[in-house]
């Protein structure tokens, strides 16, 4: 597989990034939380496309399956179970909008400034071949087998905890 | 022509900032959880971009991104269970109306 994207591919990636940023602004500002959840799905799909442009195809698949498939379903269920949201008279934002915007834009500006200044040790393109699923599996069950086991225990504990918390007391 | 690393980093930083804004301004707990998902996504983009451009073993960043996705799924499951449980008790999902522990 060719390591470099074509010019058209680059333009497509930048367009996807732009749409994702606009959708992300929608996620935090839309009044109706259901619409916010749908725009979050857009951001997650855009992230999957960015993963593909970074040659992480397996991660893009995982992103779509877990985030867009499972997490979005959970969020939409929670939105529907706790309605009383679409009422126009209820404010969805607290009163800290302007100071929060100031602080966050300052943080973002400083972050971007530092990111553009820093001398990242970028190696020449084509030094490594793209990561295949085989490489991922070997790393996950070789070097990273202990974190893998720990995260499995955390996941099962979290799922049992979620069921226990959410079930009605008899 | 390859997209430079910095463009991915700037994209992730913008997503992170928007997510932080959402956490600071949303009243609804579910909205705050959604904003946390945005931030975790920005982190994942950073990890994958760094692992492609600078890492010595390029699969490390992707492994960590998979771990973060797992943690995010666990966090969302537990968080939404807590939200539904709170809603059942106090009939609200707004953070400024939850004053059960205040006196």
Residue B18 DSSP SS3:
helix
Q: What number is the ipTM of this complex?
A: 0.90
**What pLDDT shows up at residue A32?**
85
Show the domain range for B25: 5-92
Residue with the bigger pLDDT between B54 and A151: it is A151
Give the tens place of pLDDT for each residue, A24-45: 999 998 888 888 999 999 999 9
Weakest mean pLDDT among A78-87, A106-115, A126-135, B90-99: A78-87
**Per-residue pLDDT, A94:** 78
**Residue B28 maps to a domain:** yes
- What is the per-residue pLDDT for B9? 92
Is B47 within a domain?
A: yes
Is the pLDDT reported for residue B23 higher than 70?
A: yes
Query: Could you tell me what percent of chain A has a pLDDT over 90?
Result: 42
Percent over 70 (pLDDT), chain A: 90
Count of domains forming chain B: 1
Q: What is the CA radius of gyration of chain B?
A: 17
Q: Does B83 touch chain A (CB under 8 A)?
A: yes
The minimum CA-CA distance between A165 and chain B, rounded to whole Å, is 6
B19 within a domain of the structure (yes/no): yes
Predicted pLDDT at B38: 93
Q: Which CATH number fits domain A1-85: 3.20.10.10, 1.10.10.10, 1.20.120.1200, 3.40.50.2300?
A: 1.20.120.1200
Which pLDDT score is estimated for A88?
A: 65
Is B30 a domain residue?
A: yes
Rounded to an integer, the average pLDDT of A121-146 is: 82
| Contact call for A28 and B8, based on CB within 8 A | no
Residue B47 belongs to domain with CATH number = 1.10.287.3510
pLDDT score of A33: 86
B39 near A CB under 8 A? no
| Residue B12 belongs to some domain of the structure | yes
Q: Is A46 exposed, middle or buried (0-12, 13-18, 19+ CB in 10 A)?
A: buried
Query: Has this prediction a pTM greater than 0.95?
Result: no
**Three-state secondary structure readout of A39-102:** HHHHHHHHHHHHHHHCCCHHHHHHHHHHHHHHHHHHHHHHHHHCCCCCCCCCCCECCCHHHHHH
Return mean pLDDT, chain A. Answer: 86
Task: Report the pLDDT averaged over residues B3-32.
Answer: 91
Least CB–CB distance from B6: residue in A28, A70, A115: A115
Which of A56, A74, A144, A169 should we substitute to test contact with B (largest number of B Cβ atoms within 10 Å)?
Answer: A56
Q: CA B69, CA A59: separation in Å to the nearest integer? A: 10
Q: What is the mean pLDDT of residues A60-86?
A: 85
Verify whether the Cβ–Cβ distance B81 to A125 is below 8 Å. no
Q: Do the chains contact at A13 and B3, CB–CB below 8 Å?
A: yes
pLDDT tens digits along A78-110: 888 876 655 667 777 778 888 999 999 999 999
Tell me what pLDDT residue A127 has. 67
3-state class of B56 per DSSP? coil
Residue-wise pLDDT tens digits, B5-19: 889 999 999 999 999
Instruction: Please indicate whether, in this complex, the C-beta atoms of B2 and A166 are within 8 angstroms of each other.
Output: no
Is residue B90 predicted with pLDDT exceeding 90? no
Q: CB-based contact (8 Å) between A136 and chain B?
A: yes
Residues of chain A contacting residue B65, judged by C-beta atoms under 8 Å apart: 56, 59
Q: Do B62 and A81 touch (CB under 8 A)?
A: no
User: Tokens standing for A126?
Assistant: 């084509």
Measured in angstroms, the CA of A27 and the nearest CA of chain B are apart by: 7
**From A74, A85, A111, residue closest to B80, measured CB to CB:** A74
């Amino acid at each position: 597989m060719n390591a470099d994207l074509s010019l058209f591919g680059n333009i497509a990636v930048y367009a996807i990034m732009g749409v994702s940023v606009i959708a992300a602004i929608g996620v935090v500002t839309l009044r109706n939380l259901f619409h916010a959840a749908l725009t979050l799905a857009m951001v997650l799909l855009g992230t999957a496309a960015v993963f593909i442009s970074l040659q992480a195809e397996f991660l893009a698949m995982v992103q779509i399956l877990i985030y867009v498939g499972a997490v979005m379903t959970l969020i939409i269920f929670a939105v529907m179970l706790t309605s009383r949201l679409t009422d126009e008279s209820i404010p969805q934002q607290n009163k800290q909008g302007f100071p929060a915007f100031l602080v966050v834009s300052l943080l973002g500006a400083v972050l971007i400034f530092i990111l553009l200044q820093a001398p990242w040790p970028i190696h020449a393109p084509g030094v490594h071949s793209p990561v295949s699923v085989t490489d991922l599996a070997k790393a996950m069950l070789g070097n990273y087998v202990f974190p893998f086991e720990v995260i499995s225990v955390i996941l099962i504990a979290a799922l049992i905890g979620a069921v226990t918390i959410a079930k009605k007391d008899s | 022509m390859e997209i430079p690393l910095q463009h991915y980093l700037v994209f992730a930083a913008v997503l992170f900032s928007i997510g932080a804004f959402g956490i600071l301004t949303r009243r609804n707990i579910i909205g705050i959880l959604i904003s946390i998902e945005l931030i975790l996504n920005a982190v994942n983009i950073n990890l994958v971009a760094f692992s492609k451009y600078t890492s010595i073993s390029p699969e490390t960043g992707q492994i960590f991104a998979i771990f973060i996705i797992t943690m995010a799924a666990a966090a969302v499951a537990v968080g939404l269970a807590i939200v539904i449980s709170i809603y059942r008790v106090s009939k609200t999902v707004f953070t400024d109306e939850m004053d059960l522990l205040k006196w």
